[in-house]
Amino acid sequence: MLNPDLVGRTFEGATSTTITAEAIATFAQALGEPETELASPTFAITISLEQSQSLLENSGLDWSRVVHGDQRFLINKPLVAGVHVTCNSTIESARVVAGNEIVTVRSDLIENDEVAVSSWSTLVFRA
Amino acid sequence: MSIFKIDEELPAKTYIINRAKLVAYANASGDQNPIHQDEAFAKSVGLENVIAHGMYTMGLVGQYVGRMATSSAKVKEFSARFTKPVVVPADVDVELVVSAKVIELTDEIARLEITATCNQIKVLGMAKAVILL
């Protein structure tokens, strides 16, 4: 079970990620979208989910038991090729329902000290 | 003037999901969970078959929303709950049908309520988007 002390804590991403034109194009192609310089609305997940995984695995949760419960994006500034972002992850809530552990992580992609995209992932770790 | 009308039903669009597309999405997104590619593994953890990444389904819906908004630059908010898995058997093209209704309209935004179904079954719950006008 997740240590309750971790709820409410923010983990600042140590490294910045450069969003490449190639990553945007590969993601768009996988969704059948025409090539564009602008990232798809859900592109932020390629950065945020990996960081949530390492955070929650380091906190003792078993990623092989995870199911995605729900997802929300708030896009203040669409991501484009060439920008550098860091990802700050906050464990907003954790609760146990019928043995399943339900954790909501907010991930803020920070570009030049401003939040470009916030995303909330609710992840269900099955009993 | 807005491109939308309140209560307007926006045209449905069908997206094809198959195993090859799940592999492409896994590579593009970095989510290599074997339940989205390996039938034997998926069944070993109690699933009916390989299932699509929830985020792949949501990504396709995001594409739909961007198209309705005339540009993905206008998508401000987007949320969904993954209520039913999209099961993807080998050598089958699964059809995801996406449609939306305009449930709120102001001078600045349109709020859409989105429906996404496979074989007439809703696979997303509470799917909504806010588009900047």
pLDDT at res. A15:
81
Residue with token string 């995984």: A53
Global confidence as pTM: 0.95
Residue B28 is inside which H or E element, if any? helix B19-29
Q: How close, in Å, is residue A9 to chain B by CA atoms?
A: 23
Q: What class is the A4-125 domain? A: alpha beta
The Cα B27–Cα A98 span in angstroms is 34
Q: How close, in Å, is residue A38 to chain B by CA atoms?
A: 7
pLDDT at res. B1:
57
Q: pLDDT digit string (tens) for A6-39?
A: 898 899 887 899 999 999 999 999 999 877 789 9
B72 contacts A71? CB cut-off 8 A? no
Residue with token string 């696979």: B123
Structural domains of chain B ordered from first start: 9-132 (3.10.129.10)
Positive or negative, the Cα torsion across B119, B104, B74, B28? Answer: negative
Structure confidence at residue B18 as a pLDDT band (50, 70, 90): very high
- What the block records as the tokens of A62 is 């078993």
A57 closest CA partner among A109, A120, A6: A6
The Cα B50–Cα A64 span in angstroms is 15
Q: Does residue B125 carry a pLDDT above 60?
A: yes
pLDDT at res. B38:
96
A67 contacts B30? CB cut-off 8 A? no
Q: pLDDT digit string (tens) for A41-72?
A: 999 999 999 899 999 998 899 988 888 999 99
Burial state string for A81-112 with b = 16 or more CB within 10 A and e = fewer than 16: bebebbbbbbbbebeeeeeebbbbbbbbbbbe
